[in-house]
Chain A
Amino acid sequence: MSFIINGLLLGGTYALIAVGLTLQYGVARIMNLANGENLVFACFMAFWLYTAFAINPILGIVIIAPMAFVINWLIYSYAMRPLVNRSKTSGQLEVNSILATFGLLFILKGLMKFSFGGGYFTYNYLAEGISIFGHNYGLNRVVAFIAAAVIAGTLYLFLNYTRYGTAIRAVAVNPTSASLVAINVPRASAFAFALGGALTAASGALLSSFYTFHADMGMDFTMKALVIVIMAGVGDVRGAVLAALMLGLTETAIATFVDPGLTAAGTYGLFILVLLFRPQGIFGRSNS
Chain B
Amino acid sequence: MSRLNKIFSQISKQEKRIALYCAIAFAIIATLPLFDQGFYLSISVNIVMYIVLCTAWSLFSGPTHYISLATAAFYGIGTYVVAIGIKDIPYPVLLVMAAIVSGGIAGIVGLATLRLSGVYFVVFTLGLSELIRQIVTWVQTNFSGSSGLYVFTDIREMHVFWQLLGLAVIVYIVGWLINRSRLGFAMQIIGNDETVAKHLGINTAISKILLFMISGAIIGVVGAIMAPRFSYVTPPSAFNPIISFQVVIMALLGGTKRLWGPLLGVIPFTILFDQVGVYFPDQTSIVIGVAFMAIVYLLPNGVLGLIETIKQKFTSSTKKEDPT
Q: Do A and B come into direct contact in the complex, CB within 8 Å?
A: yes
Binding site for B on A (CB under 8 A): 25, 31, 82-83, 91, 94-96, 98-100, 102-111, 113-114, 118, 223, 226, 230, 259, 261-262, 264-265, 268-269, 271-272, 275-276, 279
A262 touches B118 (CB 8 A): no
A31 touches B119 (CB 8 A): yes
In the complex the two chains form, what is the Cα distance from A95 to B65 in whole Å? 8
B285 touches A83 (CB 8 A): no
A103 touches B134 (CB 8 A): no
List the one stretch of B29-37, B86-94, B290-298 in contact with chain A: B290-298
Contact residues in B for A95 (Cβ distance below 8 Å): 65, 67, 118
The 8 tightest CB contacts between A and B, nearest first, are: A103-B292, A106-B289, A110-B286, A107-B289, A110-B285, A103-B293, A265-B134, A268-B131
Query: Which one of A96, A106, A114, A118 has the highest number of Cβ atoms from chain B below 10 Å of its Cβ?
Result: A106
**With A272-B124, A272-B131, A275-B113 in contact, do A103 and B296 touch (Cβ < 8 Å)?**
yes
Q: How large is the interface on B (under 10, 10 to 19, 20 to 34, 35 or more residues)?
A: 35 or more
A275 touches B118 (CB 8 A): no
In the complex the two chains form, what is the Cα distance from A275 to B284 in whole Å? 32
In the complex the two chains form, what is the Cα distance from A44 to B122 in whole Å? 28
**In the complex, which of the residues B120, B141, B283, B296 contacts A230, with contact meaning CB atoms closer than 8 Å?**
B120
Considering only CB atoms, which chain A residue lies closest to B283 in the complex? Answer: A110
In the complex the two chains form, what is the Cα distance from A279 to B117 in whole Å? 10
Considering only CB atoms, which chain A residue lies closest to B124 in the complex? Answer: A275
Contact residues in A for B135 (Cβ distance below 8 Å): 262, 265
**With A104-B289, A114-B283 in contact, do A91 and B65 touch (Cβ < 8 Å)?**
yes
A264 touches B134 (CB 8 A): yes
Considering only CB atoms, which chain B residue lies closest to A109 in the complex? Answer: B285
In the complex the two chains form, what is the Cα distance from A259 to B286 in whole Å? 34
Shortest CB distance A79–B (Å): 8
Considering only CB atoms, which chain B residue lies closest to A82 in the complex? Answer: B297
In the complex the two chains form, what is the Cα distance from A272 to B283 in whole Å? 33
Given contacts A82-B297, A99-B67, A103-B292, 10 further A-B contacts (CB under 8 A): A94-B117, A98-B67, A99-B296, A110-B285, A113-B282, A262-B135, A268-B127, A271-B123, A275-B124, A276-B112
In the complex the two chains form, what is the Cα distance from A104 to B288 in whole Å? 10
Shortest CB distance B216–A (Å): 17
B283 touches A269 (CB 8 A): no
B65 touches A261 (CB 8 A): no
Shortest CB distance A242–B (Å): 20
A261 touches B141 (CB 8 A): yes
The answer to whether B252 has its CB under 8 Å from any CB of chain A is yes
B127 touches A91 (CB 8 A): no
B130 touches A268 (CB 8 A): yes
Contact residues in A for B287 (Cβ distance below 8 Å): 110
| Chain B positions 106 through 150: 1 when the CB is less than 8 Å from some CB of chain A, otherwise 0 | 000000110111111011101110110011011001100000000
In the complex the two chains form, what is the Cα distance from A271 to B115 in whole Å? 16
In the complex the two chains form, what is the Cα distance from A100 to B290 in whole Å? 9
A107 touches B290 (CB 8 A): yes
Contact residues in A for B248 (Cβ distance below 8 Å): 99, 102
Shortest CB distance B189–A (Å): 15
Shortest CB distance A115–B (Å): 11
Considering only CB atoms, which chain B residue lies closest to A106 in the complex? Answer: B289
**With A91-B118, A99-B292 in contact, do A261 and B124 touch (Cβ < 8 Å)?**
no
The answer to whether B60 has its CB under 8 Å from any CB of chain A is no
The answer to whether B239 has its CB under 8 Å from any CB of chain A is no
**With A110-B283, A269-B131 in contact, do A83 and B296 touch (Cβ < 8 Å)?**
yes
In the complex the two chains form, what is the Cα distance from A205 to B131 in whole Å? 28
Considering only CB atoms, which chain A residue lies closest to B286 in the complex? Answer: A110
In the complex the two chains form, what is the Cα distance from A82 to B298 in whole Å? 12
In the complex the two chains form, what is the Cα distance from A31 to B122 in whole Å? 11
B138 touches A259 (CB 8 A): yes
In the complex the two chains form, what is the Cα distance from A111 to B288 in whole Å? 12
B118 touches A271 (CB 8 A): no
The answer to whether B57 has its CB under 8 Å from any CB of chain A is no
| Chain B positions 61 through 72: 1 when the CB is less than 8 Å from some CB of chain A, otherwise 0 | 000010100000
**In the complex, which of the residues B67, B130, B286, B297 contacts A106, with contact meaning CB atoms closer than 8 Å?**
B286
Contact residues in A for B128 (Cβ distance below 8 Å): 268, 272
Interface of chain B residues 261 through 303 with chain A (CB within 8 A): 282-293, 295-297, 300
**In the complex, which of the residues A98, A100, A113, A265 contacts B285, with contact meaning CB atoms closer than 8 Å?**
A113
Query: Which one of A25, A31, A99 has the highest number of Cβ atoms from chain B below 10 Å of its Cβ?
Result: A99
**With A261-B137, A264-B134, A275-B112 in contact, do A107 and B293 touch (Cβ < 8 Å)?**
yes
In the complex the two chains form, what is the Cα distance from A129 to B119 in whole Å? 41
Contact residues in A for B283 (Cβ distance below 8 Å): 110, 114
In the complex the two chains form, what is the Cα distance from A105 to B286 in whole Å? 9
**In the complex, which of the residues A96, A105, A265 contacts B296, with contact meaning CB atoms closer than 8 Å?**
A96
The answer to whether B245 has its CB under 8 Å from any CB of chain A is yes
Contact residues in B for A272 (Cβ distance below 8 Å): 112, 124, 127-128, 131
In the complex the two chains form, what is the Cα distance from A5 to B285 in whole Å? 37
In the complex the two chains form, what is the Cα distance from A98 to B126 in whole Å? 13
Contact residues in A for B138 (Cβ distance below 8 Å): 259, 261-262, 265
In the complex the two chains form, what is the Cα distance from A82 to B296 in whole Å? 10
Contact residues in A for B286 (Cβ distance below 8 Å): 106-107, 110-111, 114
